[in-house]
Every structure is written in C-alpha cells, then in structure tokens.
Structure 1
Amino acid sequence: MHSDHVYPAPAATPRGLVALLACASGLSVANVYYAQPLLDQLAADFAISPGAVGGVITATQIGSVLALLLVVPLGDQINRRRLMLAQIGALIAALFCVGATHSPAILLLAMLAVGLLGTAMTQGLIAFAATSALPQERGRVVGTVQGAVVIGLLLSRLAAGLISDLAGWRWVYLGSALVMTVLGLILCSVLPTQRPSAAPMPYPRLVWSMFTLLKQDRVLQIRGMLALFIFAVLGIFWSALVFLLTRTPYEFSHTAIGTFGLVGVVGALAATRAGVWADKGLGQWTTGVSLGLLILAWFALWLTPYSMLWLVIGVVILDLGAQAIHVTNQSMIFSASPDSHSRIVGCYMLFYAVGSGLGALASTALYAAYGWTGVCVLGAGVSVIALGFWAVTLRYIPGTAEQPATCT
C-alpha cells in the first residue's frame, strides 16, 4: 500500500487497514484511563491528599473535552494521516513526561495532554475509518473500530493494575510510550493519505461549525442524547463498583477489580454486531432491545450482595446493551456527508463526556447516602428515562442510517 493512496476508494476497505485502525484506537484510548486504578499510588508518590488526587482524572477529562472541541474538528480540514502522526508523536512525549516527572504540577499538565491527545487520536481514527468505508459497510467498519475502543478502555484498568503491581506505576506510562512509538512507526509506513473534502475555512469558524451541525442535524441531536444517557449509566456503575468491592466483605485488590473489565469485553465484542444490523436498516430495533437490556442489567446488579455471579451477569448485559447503542449511534450519525465526519464525531462525543461526568458525580454521592441499592435505583431510573426518550423520538428520525434527518 502506497502512502500517497487517497481514500475513499471504490473498493471495500481492506481488512488489514480496519484491523490496524481498531488496534490503534484501542491502544490510544487506554492512555486516557490508565490512571483510574493508580490514584492511591499517585497520591502517595506525589504527596497529594486522597481528596485532591481525583484532580488527576479531572485533568485527563478536561483534556478530552478540549480535544473534542479544538483538535478533532481539524480532521475535516487537514490531511488526516499527517494530523494523526503529529498527534501520536506529541502523545508519546506526554506519556514519557508522566512517567518521569516528580512535580505534581507537571503531572497534572502532562495528564491533561494525555487526555487531549489520546482522545484526539481515538476519535480521529474512528472518523478515518468511517470516511474510508463504503456506505453499505460503514456500520460494520465503525462497529469493529468502536469495539476495539471499548476493549481498550475496559482492559486499561486491568493492564495498569498488573503493571503497577509488577514494576511500579511509572512503567504503566513509560511502557505505553514505547508501545505507542512502535504503533506510530507502523502507522507512518502503512496508513493511507486521506485528504479532506470540506471547503477550507478559518479555524474559529471550523470549531463553531460543530454547533451549527448539531443545530441542523436531528439524528445527531437525538443519538447524542441517547449517548449522554447510556454513558451516564456506565459512569454510575463503574464509579460505584470500586467503593463496593474494596470494602467489607469483598476487600478486593485493584487488580482483581480490573478483571471485571475482562467480563465487560464479552458484551463489547457481541455489541460490534450492532453495526452490521444498522447497515441493514435495523438501527432503531437494535436500540430499543438494547435499552431494555440496560434496565434488565440493573436488576441483576442489584442482587450482587447475594452472589458475585449476579455481578458478572449484570456487567455482561450492561456492556452489551450500552455498546450496541453506541455502535448504532455512530453508524447513524456518520450517514451525513463525509466532509464533516471529524466534527460530527467530536460533537457526538461531547454528549459522551457530559454523560460520563454526570453519572460519576451522581453515583458517588448516592452511594455515600444510600449504598449500592441507591446506585442501582439511579442506574435503572436513567435507563428507563433513556427508553422513554427513544420511544418519544422514534417519529422524528427514520429507522435507517441511509436517510439522515435535519431540523428546519
């Protein structure tokens, strides 16, 4: 494959390219989440109080939002291959900085950079995959890449726990920097050129055009709100689970808790099929069934104190339902013109970020007040609201991804 090859091409996307984009996406997104099981070690190493060390996560999330607003839209204006190679180079530098610094201030700045660049890489790769794919295979291609993102996110917690137990937390980031360096060399040698088809525009207008797209595209509005609900549900679950399992009677280690990410992979892999169904015009049917699964999952999770088997069942169902909706969402929103794919994915993921943040905040507050039962009631309640929202909005958008609707 020559580096001057230009996509989109009339042929189907090569499987090797899809596999590379999927692998790169999973590795990129993992960098944003490595810190979650390492907070106690970071607090000790940098003499940060337990109450304030959450700022490390906040820094990465701020970086993620800045990436969605300020960096991801550039994919519609700049050669995406060149943009991603520049981003991965900067990400490698930020990872080395995290692994080497002894200053709390530099740690926070480097974590912000990791959140920004890891998110920009991930969403840029998804937009690259969507633009490379033919319309009739777009759901399958996006579903494959998105499945890898979910797997990378889930396994990041386990990988960070294992590496930190074996070699210390710094090697989580130094090791990742080495892995990303190898990935960067591979991308440099095989990633095809993908020149933007959008008309050139000034940078401020490019960023503002994201909100214009949101105002005009009803599919993006509705599927974005569904994303907000489902990622609030996931934020509610994962944020409270740590508190439940680290305390009596479980008292699990961080590595043991991270292994529940392996359970979630089962659901995530099954959910990649949702993209194929969306290609066949079954996106709305998939969404309705998946929202029903979310509600069902919370009944299983509520029974966790009686048996850990219920937790395993609940995690599989929860991740299956949530990721099936996420894959369907992306298949449907990418039905818009390819010259705005980067801005569309950036806009959509803002809903994701808001939902995740609100879910985590509400979850920890409710767990402190009402325990695990309160968390399960909250999660089930948000899932029911999401189902109601989907039912009410069914008449506003068509069931197939090939017929985007716009607001007038």
Structure 2
Amino acid sequence: MSAAEKPTLVERFVTLCRRNPVVVDAVLAALLLWIAISWTLEGKVARAEQGAALVVAVLAAAPVVFRRTHPIPAAVGTAVVAGVAQLAVPGLVAALLLPALVMGYSAIAYGPRWAGAVAFLLLVAGATMPSLLRLLTRPAGDPPLGVSLWLLGFPLGVAAGVWLAGSLRRASFRHTEGLRERARLLEESRRQEVRIELLAERSRISREVHDVVAHSLSGIIAQADGGQFAARRDPAKAVDVLAGIADTGREALADVRGLLEMLRDSGVDGVADKDATSDTAGRPQPGTDDVPALVEQVRAGGLPVDLVVTGTPRPAGTGPGLTAYRVVQEALTNVIKHAGPGTPAHVRLEWTDDELIVRVRDEGARGPVPRPPRGGHGLTGMRERAALHGGSVETGPHPDGGWSVRLRLPLATHRGEP
C-alpha cells in the first residue's frame, strides 16, 4: 500500500469509532450526565430537588450507552424515566432535556420505521406539555400571551428539528446500507460468473481430453487386437500394425501436450476462447476439411468405414467445424468400442443451404461384441458441443440395424466467420 493510500489519523479514528459504537456512546452518556449534573448544581433545579435531579440524570443518561445497538429498549427506558420524573417532580427538566433529545433522535435514526412517529409524538408531548399547562393555568396577563406562545412554539420547533435530523440520518444510513448490499451482490455475481466460466472451461477441456484420448486409445486397442491375429499369419503385417500404433500414440501424446499447454497458458480468468483457431502449441484446430483424413486414419486402424459428401462444402467456422470433426471422431470411436473393429461404418456429410448434417452409422456387430468401459461421457460431450453452436445430436438404433448418430449444425450464423 502506497503512502497516498494509507488512511489518515482521522480516518483511522472514524473507523475505530464505527467498530466500537457502545464505547463511543458510553462516552456520550458520560458527557450528557456531566452536563446535567452541572446544570443541576448551577441552580437550574431548585435546591430541594437537586438530589432527585441527580438520580434522574443518571437514570436518564444510562440508556444512551445502547442507543445504537438497542435503540428501542434504550428509548423506552429514557421515556419511562422522563415520564415518571415529570409526574413526580415537574421541575427536573434540566436533568432530562439532553438525554431525552438524544434518545428521541436515536430511536428515529436507528429504530424501525414506526419508531420515528412514536418518538416524535413523545418529544412533542414532553416538550410542550409544561408550557401548555402553564399557558392554561396562568393568571390573566402573566406572562403575556405572546411570551406564552413563544414558550410553547420553541419546544415544538426543537422536537421537529430532532425528528428531521433523525430522519435524515436514517435515510443516509439506509442509503449506505443499500450501496453496501449492492456492492456485495455485484461481487457475488462476479464470483458466480467466474465460477460458471471456470466450469464451462473445465467441461470444454474434459470433452477435448475425452475425444482425443478415447479415440486414440480405442484405435490403439483395435490395432493391437488385429496385430495379435496378424502376427500368427503374417509377421510383416504385424510390423505395419505396430507402426500404426506408434503413430497413433505419438499423435495422442501431442494432442494431450497441447491441452496441457492450454491449461498452463490460459488467461487471468482461466477461460480460453471456445472457438480458438489454434491450440497453444500453434496447431490449427481440426474441422470439416480434416474429416477425410480422420476416416482414412480409422480405416487404416482396421475399421471398414467409408465417407460420402453431398452438397457443396464451404467454410463452417472454427467452432462448428471442430464440432463436426469431434462428433465423427467420437461416433467412430464408439463403433470400435461397442460394435467391434470389424463392423462396417458409414460417414455422410450433407451440405445444404443453411445447415450441415453429419450422419455416422454402423451395420451392427458381425461377431462377439467387446465389453465397453463404463462411465463414458461421449454422447453428453457431443450434445454439449452441438448446443454451443445452436445444433443438436440425435442417437439411436438404425432401422437397417446397427447404431446411428446424426448431427445438425446451422450454418447461416457462421457465414461471416473466417
């Protein structure tokens, strides 16, 4: 913290007072008691009533200690003391005046809304009642009517001033509390947005890891199974299979390293662009143009798969293109895992004026079906990818047998993308 940002001595004192309201109000109560005692001993109370005045001053000032922490009980305590004292010994106004005004202000400023009206009425009654009684019982012409009206109006004005000051303090306090609550809500909203962004990024990376690792491992397993069979009949073919396994493993390792670099080099918010044109290693993200190479790679791994493209291919945008590629990759991986590496599969890309339709289906298992691993998230990942770009994924049994995956991606909103 720089010297300009350090709080001043006054600011530190104000902060300390706000953190210890009872201590501050205890000092205020002691000050009010000292003033009441001084007025009493100076002759503002008759000598015969000074003892009672000192007791009343202590009882009236004591609740001031809790005027902010417990405003209503404290105000009721002072009001009871003042009422009893006025009825028993009417000449003790000097011992009650300041504590009553302070507690009336505190009840209006810090109490509930209804307390403001009640405190104002009590202040008006306590301030004007002695003058009103004097006015009603005065002898003719003593004191003059104008003086009596002044004695009645001045206390009323004081009560109105206390009510106004308390109301303004209450409004200021409520405004400050509203600003603090708004700041708290804004901070909480910002934290929620960051949390949502982090969860979305975690989900995106999870999909990438699943697509890369699951596809590569499924291909390696299929090639390894085929290599075991080929090694018995044609050792030279087994060498080619092992070379394919090594290539697939290297590609998977490079993709995983790219994902780890993306995690390591994310921005300060930890969120990367979901439609980034390349990963952090500088390799462009795959798209629809890379689907033929993907099909060829899977075919080389032992899965009989063909590709048919209809319509006029055109740039689909980085995000939709990557989605189409990953859906084809995941669907073919599922064919290997669930139907077996010898099951014929078909990939079809249909380009229309406003959307791209991707269909992947297999013809059903031709032999023993391998036991797939449990706990996969491939279908969920495909649907999440499609939903990010306004598309949808439908999966289910095909009428001619086997399993079918259909992806629909709108293209109209992506024509302006590079």
Does the alignment reach a TM-score above 0.5?
no
Higher relative contact order (CA 8 A, sep 6+): 1
Please state which structure has a larger fraction of its residues in helix.
1
TM-score (norm. length: structure 1):
0.23
Please state which structure has a larger fraction of its residues in strand.
2
TM-score (norm. length: structure 2):
0.23
Which structure is larger by alpha-carbon Rg, 1 or 2? 2
